[in-house]
Amino acid sequence: MSTTPRISVIIVTWNKKDYVIDLLNSLSNLDFPRTQLDITVVDNASSDGTVEALQRLFPDVHLLVNAENIGGTGGFNTGLSWAFSQPEDRYDYLWLLDNDVVVHKHALSALLTVLEQNPDVAVAGSTMMQLDYPWRINEMGAFIDRGRGGLILNRHHEEIPGWREKPLEQLLSSDVDLSTLLLHCQPTMDVDYVAAASLLIRAPVAKKAGLWQDFFIHFDDVEWCLRIAEMGHRILVSPRSLIWHLSAAAKVPSWILYYDNRNILYLLQKHSNAEAVKGTARRIIIKALYYMLLGKPDLAQLHLTAVADFKQQVTGKKAINLADKLQPIAEIDAIVRDPSCKSILIPFTVNLQATGIQSALVKAMKQRNDLRIFYLCPPANVAYPQCQLPGAIPIHIPQFKLMRYWKYFKLRSQFDIVFQSDYQPILPLSWIAKQTLFINDEYFCLRRSPCLSDLVKTLPVLLRQYFS
């Protein structure tokens, strides 16, 4: 192009004031003329002062404020509708960004190069790095398993050689091209979709493709990319355009499970076949059984509701109320000091340092002579610490799985509470104590352990949905 293109930047946010401020600050360091960028932030009725902060700190940013939280779908559709209403020649490209990313200084220019050098490409996306592990790739574009309803993240968790020692601030401003740092990495790669965490699209193509399907959140950008590909356009990811996004490993599955499971069925219905839809629905029901066995019946119900709502063709936002509420880690003191809790089992999968609860447990043991804390040591072939808690009573488990399960069975009814990692639960442990405390790096949730009578009541429902 003989002139510098004009770009509409669309960001959607809801109650992430600090994140969106970090993003806007990173945009100010782009190697692209600020005069050619129109930045629009769509706020989904945030209650954390986002709008007021942006008005004060970024007066040149265009704000669109929705009256309620209408999700990522509704937010991006608000921004796209506004961009589509502008004069035809106002924008050459639209750049969609998540609110919780920061962008490399070459992130936009690298995407522009891809589109300007490849007329048959309509969409270019950035390589998504992990904000909490800056040296690690989250995805370099992705593919769809249209048979089993899965996402295949390209180069997921691949580490960049030599980056562990470098702070994010240095990476953001350095000259980086991952195609020169990674084995068999080309300057661009064709993919099924790139996430709207950083997606640059030709403005005329975006308008022709239209608004996102009303998923509320998740899989909406995936469906849009598949729709654009079916229009005859290519979708590329660039290893020269980098953004950093909070990794999914830090996000514990909860209410979002409903949308993930419902929306993948809609995606397959539109872009695959009936057999794939049926098989995926059955796998979702099997996952519901898993959550029942784990002791999270409310999350099991989310899976069943997702399938039922898909069959009724329910879309958009869903009122979701989970039975068991999350509590801040700091409140775990009250649990371990409760006189009714006399025995606790903590497995090796719970990272006491990451959760920050080690000192609370040690203090409780020192102050309560009647409290016994047991530590379930990992089998010899598993790379976990043998113990993370001074004074804990070790319980060793066999290396072979069947023998381990027999060991778990023999431990039943010996503990008041068993801890479980939200990231890596050990399913049989949920059945051996009166209560199960699920914990992650930020929150915990104390739940009644599953019982056989509840499972018996639920099985007919699961079977009916599975065979319907």
> What is the reported pLDDT for 1?
46
> Average of pLDDT values for 57-69?
97
Cα 220 to Cα 430: distance, rounded to the nearest angstrom: 35
Judged against a pLDDT cut of 50, whether residue 141 lies above it is answered with yes
> What is the reported pLDDT for 247?
78
% residues pLDDT > 90 (the chain) = 90
Name the CATH code of domain 7-250 (choices 3.90.1150.10, 3.90.550.60, 3.40.50.2300, 3.90.580.10): 3.90.550.60
> What is the reported pLDDT for 253?
73
> What is the reported pLDDT for 372?
96
Judged against a pLDDT cut of 80, whether residue 229 lies above it is answered with yes
> What is the reported pLDDT for 62?
97
Binned at pLDDT 50, 70 and 90, residue 72 comes out as: very high
Domain locations along the chain: 7-250, 256-323, 327-448
Alpha-carbon separation of residue 35 from 4, 29, 61, 110, 254 (angstroms): 10, 13, 12, 18, 42
> Average of pLDDT values for 7-16?
97
Closest C-alpha among 86, 459, 42 to residue 286? 459
> Average of pLDDT values for 353-380?
94
Q: Where are the alpha helices (DSSP H) in 231-351?
A: 256-271, 274-294, 297-311, 332-337
- Residues paired with 128 in a beta bridge: 139, 243
> What is the reported pLDDT for 249?
64
Binned at pLDDT 50, 70 and 90, residue 250 comes out as: low
Closest C-alpha among 357, 333, 362 to residue 441? 357
Cα 297 to Cα 346: distance, rounded to the nearest angstrom: 22
> Average of pLDDT values for 442-449?
93
Judged against a pLDDT cut of 90, whether residue 235 lies above it is answered with yes
Output the average pLDDT for the chain: 95
* Residues whose CB falls within 8 Å of the CB of residue 463, separated by 6 or more in sequence, listed in order: none
What are the tokens at 34?
């600020």
Q: Are 239 and 127 in contact (CB under 8 A)?
A: yes
Helix (H, G, I), strand (E, B) or coil at 168: helix
Closest C-alpha among 224, 185, 208, 190 to residue 114? 190
Alpha-carbon separation of residue 24 from 9, 40, 98, 117, 443 (angstroms): 11, 11, 11, 28, 29
Q: How does pLDDT run across 186-216, given as a tens digit for each residue?
A: 999 999 999 999 999 999 999 999 999 999 9
> What is the reported pLDDT for 350?
95
Would you say the pTM of this structure is higher than 0.85?
A: yes
Q: How does pLDDT run across 295-339, given as a tens digit for each residue?
A: 999 999 999 999 999 999 999 999 998 887 889 999 999 999 999
Judged against a pLDDT cut of 70, whether residue 142 lies above it is answered with yes
Q: Which of 84-93, 171-180, 287-296, 377-386 has the lowest mean pLDDT?
A: 377-386
